[in-house]
């Protein structure tokens, strides 16, 4: 967030506004809010050192209502003091003397102020984020409304199973800028795209992750991104970002044979093969689109482990028609994209095509 640091340092840290580029200058960013607040969203790289946990926070809130402000503050101060002492003996015990720390809570008030004051008395250099998380959240929303229009998005399009996510990963490995929305949303972007071992982030957490990825990128350089829908699982792509992606004239349409696509999907969705019951639990979500009869056929193929036949049928009847309709409706400059082909499902073929996309982007 735009702002300057106030010097010299006082015994009680003076709240400061922090520019986005300055976040990386801190050795440690401390979120003094409760674990529940932290889980919902937090500053990039922040560590949760709560001065009140979720139960304690609720308890003090009740005290304010029923016992009065003085009693609530007295009891709260005792809890805060014990928690800060535990942090000093625990996570902060090994923090170097020359560490530069940023502390914040919901509004940059009592919770962050208490922890920061003690840390400053110890001798660490400490800033308190002005306005706390609430001000940071407002900045994220404002930046996501304006930043995307400044970027040169190179859109990687193509039907389900043509290796788009794999290509983005290879491109990122070679040092190019990639905005992998599916990775940030912990979802593969379809009705069957839920990951087996990761829950999706909250909408706020997803937006912060997108914001952080954009702030670390150079708008003057190409940024590779997949041709996503407005929603990736339950996460909504910010409006200005989806508009900028869909308005791009730079991109590549990847095609692959049905056999190659089936091979890649069976590799990527291995968890369904290992535990068919996971797939069987998800297929009923397609009844509204295809009726009970076809979904029953797909369920039967899954139960009998006819995986290639199942994948081919899902692509033909569900994914390909939905993709074609979405692209025609949303990507008005699709005709300007280059057409490329993934020849087979090997690692070498994916690497070769990633190099081709990089070359195409550098020449555009």
Q: Which two tokens stand for residue 76?
A: 């709260």
| 151-363 shares the fold of 15-136 | no
pLDDT at res. 364 = 61
Which entry of 105, 162, 235, 262 is annotated as an active-site residue?
105
| Residue 101 falls in the annotated catalytic set | no
pLDDT at res. 19 = 80
pLDDT at res. 16 = 85
pLDDT at res. 200 = 97
DSSP 304-356: TT-HHHHHHHHIIIIIHHHHHHHHHHH-TTGGGSEEEE---SSHHHHHHHHHH
pLDDT at res. 242 = 97
pLDDT at res. 12 = 64
CATH architecture of 15-136: 3-Layer(aba) Sandwich (3.40)
**Each residue's pLDDT tens digit in the chain (364 positions)?**
444 333 344 556 777 888 877 899 999 999 999 999 999 999 999 999 999 999 999 998 888 888 888 988 899 899 999 999 999 999 999 999 999 999 999 998 889 999 999 999 999 999 999 999 999 999 999 999 999 999 999 999 999 999 999 999 999 999 999 999 999 999 998 888 888 888 999 999 999 999 999 999 999 999 999 999 999 999 999 999 999 999 999 999 999 999 999 999 999 999 999 999 999 999 999 999 999 999 999 999 999 999 999 999 999 999 999 999 999 999 989 999 999 999 999 999 999 999 999 998 987 6
Helices (H) and strands (E) in the chain, counts: 16, 12
Strand order across the 152-157 sheet: 177-179, 222-226, 152-157, 251-255, 338-341
Write down the domain spans for the chain: 15-136, 151-363
Class in CATH terms, 151-363 = alpha beta
Whether a cis peptide bond, with omega within 30° of 0, leads into 8 is yes
Q: What is the spatial distance between Cα 54 and Cα 254, in angstroms, rounded to a whole number?
A: 48
> Would you say 224 and 168 are in contact if contact means Cβ atoms under 8 Å apart?
yes
């Amino acid at each position: 967030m735009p702002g300057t640091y106030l010097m010299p340092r006082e015994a009680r840290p003076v709240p400061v506004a922090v520019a986005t580029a300055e976040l990386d200058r801190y050795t440690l960013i401390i979120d003094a809010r409760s674990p529940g607040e932290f889980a919902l969203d937090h500053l990039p790289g922040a560590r949760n050192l709560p001065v009140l946990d979720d139960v304690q926070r609720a308890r003090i809130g009740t005290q304010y209502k029923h016992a009065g402000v003085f009693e609530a503050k007295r009891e709260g101060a005792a809890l805060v003091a014990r928690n800060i002492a535990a942090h000093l003996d625990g996570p902060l015990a090994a923090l170097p003397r020359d560490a530069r720390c940023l502390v914040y809570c919901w509004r940059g008030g009592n919770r962050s102020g208490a922890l920061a004051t003690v840390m400053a008395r110890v001798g660490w250099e400490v800033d308190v984020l002005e306005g706390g998380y609430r001000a940071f959240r407002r900045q994220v929303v404002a930046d996501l409304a304006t930043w995307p229009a400044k970027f040169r998005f190179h859109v990687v399009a193509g039907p389900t199973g043509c290796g788009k996510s794999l290509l983005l990963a290879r491109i990122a490995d070679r040092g190019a800028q990639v905005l992998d929305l599916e990775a940030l949303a912990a979802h593969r972007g379809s009705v069957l795209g839920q990951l087996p071992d990761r829950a999706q982030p909250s909408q706020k957490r997803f937006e912060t992750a997108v914001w952080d990825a954009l702030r670390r990128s150079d708008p003057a350089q190409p940024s590779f991104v997949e041709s996503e829908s407005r929603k990736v699982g339950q996460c909504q792509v910010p409006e200005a970002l989806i508009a900028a992606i869909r308005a791009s004239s730079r991109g590549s349409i990847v095609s692959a044979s049905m056999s190659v696509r089936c091979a890649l999907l069976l590799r990527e969705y291995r968890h369904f093969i290992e535990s068919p019951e996971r797939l069987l639990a998800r297929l009923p979500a397609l009844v509204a689109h295809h009726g009970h009869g076809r979904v029953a056929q797909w369920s039967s193929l899954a139960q009998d482990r006819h995986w290639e036949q199942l994948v081919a049928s899902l692509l033909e009847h569900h994914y390909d028609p939905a993709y074609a309709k979405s692209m025609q409706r949303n990507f008005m400059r699709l005709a300007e994209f280059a057409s490329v082909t993934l020849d087979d499902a090997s690692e070498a073929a994916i690497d070769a095509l990633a190099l081709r996309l990089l070359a195409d982007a550098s020449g555009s």
